[in-house]
């Protein structure tokens, strides 16, 4: 995000109405390499191509808040790599991390990662340091410390089905695993802020919290997310969960979250009712079926539908997709989205 956009974001979080309706998207490797015309492998391996492609996105759409902006990442391999998972990178597909354990019993032997040295984490920091001067000269700064959430990471280490079974069958071992992962995340966020004092935001991505019921959420999610969002001093506390989000929405204030990107299956009105007035909603048209696969007219119609679901007096909204920017989204659809938001009648 440009520095002026960051300042506007903080104003929005604090409840001040902006002179315009902000449009923002979460962008990373599912979208940027293909849009820029390079392979995923080149995007991950080249500091130069990583910087140029992110800069081109910011320059091509100057009215859009891209979040977290200049995101240094290696897809879903980023955090699991610190625990020792086998990583598989594909030329034109997303990387993935193989399971580390066959059962929850093996997780007790998991060592606590060193966020300064382990896995891909040093390369994340190094990429940002190498490009920091150029990022700053482009009127941006490193604003967000970013991590996947504890349940998301646990599902990669153990497997999603196995992790769900562990919650039901092995609650004590599950808590030990989640405590270890949460400690890692807090260390990782703190290290990012130490390396880049401009960090004033936290962004956590975790869809697995949408897979559990309310009792399980209160036991296995809420306390760990509260620790994470309070681990560093931050003005923007952004949670992405584009799976089932009705339970999550009810507890955002208790978790310390003030920005929420949620599933397009939930209406803006429903989310506002559950979150209360103090959370910035980030949504909410279908990312894959409309933003990527639809026509510009269908994008505009989806934006208008979302506007119709929420009071015109509700200004704590960043108009976006109900999830991150997917692969194959074309410029004409992004422009149709921007224009639909800009031209919606007051």
- 204 forms beta bridges with 147, 239
| Residue 346 reports pLDDT greater than 90 | no
CA 108 to chain centre: 28
- Which tokens is 57 given? 């996105």
Q: Which domains does the chain have, with CATH numbers?
A: 3-343 (3.20.20.210)
CB 208 within 8 A of CB 154: yes
CB 61 within 8 A of CB 320: no
Q: What is the dihedral of CA 112, 116, 121, 127, to 10 degrees?
A: 170
Q: What is the dihedral of CA 179, 181, 185, 190, to 10 degrees?
A: 60
What is the per-residue pLDDT across 16-74, written as a single tens digit (0 to 9) for each? 999 999 999 999 999 999 999 999 999 999 999 999 999 999 999 999 999 999 999 99
| Residue 210 reports pLDDT greater than 90 | yes
User: What is the bridge-based pairing of β-strands 259-262 and 280-285?
Assistant: parallel
Residue with tokens 């696969």: 293
How high is the mean pLDDT of the chain?
Answer: 96
Residues 6+ apart with CB under 8 A from 40: 29, 33, 89, 90, 91, 92, 93, 94, 95
pLDDT at 335: 98
What is the per-residue pLDDT across 252-295, written as a single tens digit (0 to 9) for each? 999 999 999 999 999 999 999 999 999 999 999 999 999 999 99
pLDDT at 313: 83
What gap in Å lies between CA 105 and CA 108, rounded to an integer?
A: 6
């Amino acid at each position: 995000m440009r520095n002026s956009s960051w300042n506007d974001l903080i104003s929005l979080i604090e409840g001040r109405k902006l002179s315009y309706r902000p449009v923002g998207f979460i962008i990373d490797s599912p979208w940027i390499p293909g849009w820029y015309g390079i392979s995923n492998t080149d995007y991950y391996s080249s500091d130069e191509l990583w910087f140029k492609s992110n800069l081109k996105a910011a320059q091509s759409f100057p009215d859009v808040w891209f979040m977290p902006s200049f995101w240094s990442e290696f897809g879903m391999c980023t955090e699991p790599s610190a625990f020792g998972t086998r990583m598989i990178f594909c030329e034109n597909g997303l990387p993935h991390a193989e399971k580390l354990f066959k059962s929850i019993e093996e997780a007790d032997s998991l060592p606590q990662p060193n966020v300064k040295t382990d896995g891909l984490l040093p390369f994340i920091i190094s990429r940002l340091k190498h490009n920091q001067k150029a990022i700053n000269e482009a009127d941006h700064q490193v604003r967000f410390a970013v991590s996947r959430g504890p349940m998301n990471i646990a599902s990669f280490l153990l497997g999603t089905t196995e992790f769900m079974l562990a919650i039901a069958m092995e609650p004590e071992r599950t808590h030990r695993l989640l405590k270890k992962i949460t400690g890692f995340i807090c260390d990782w966020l703190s290290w990012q802020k130490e390396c880049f004092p401009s960090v004033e935001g936290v962004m956590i991505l975790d869809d697995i919290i949408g897979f559990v019921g309310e009792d399980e959420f209160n036991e296995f999610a809420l306390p760990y997310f509260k620790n994470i969002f309070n681990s560093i001093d931050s003005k923007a506390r952004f949670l992405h969960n584009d799976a089932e989000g009705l339970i999550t929405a009810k507890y955002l204030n208790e978790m310390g979250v003030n920005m929420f990107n949620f599933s397009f299956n939930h209406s803006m009105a429903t989310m506002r009712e559950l979150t209360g007035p103090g959370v910035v909603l980030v949504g909410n048209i279908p990312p894959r079926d409309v933003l990527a696969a639809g026509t510009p007219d269908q994008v505009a119609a989806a934006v208008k539908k979302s506007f119709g679901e929420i009071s015109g007096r509700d200004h704590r909204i960043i108009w976006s997709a109900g999830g991150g920017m997917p692969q194959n989204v074309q410029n004409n659809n992004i422009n149709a989205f921007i224009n639909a938001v800009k031209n919606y009648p007051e």
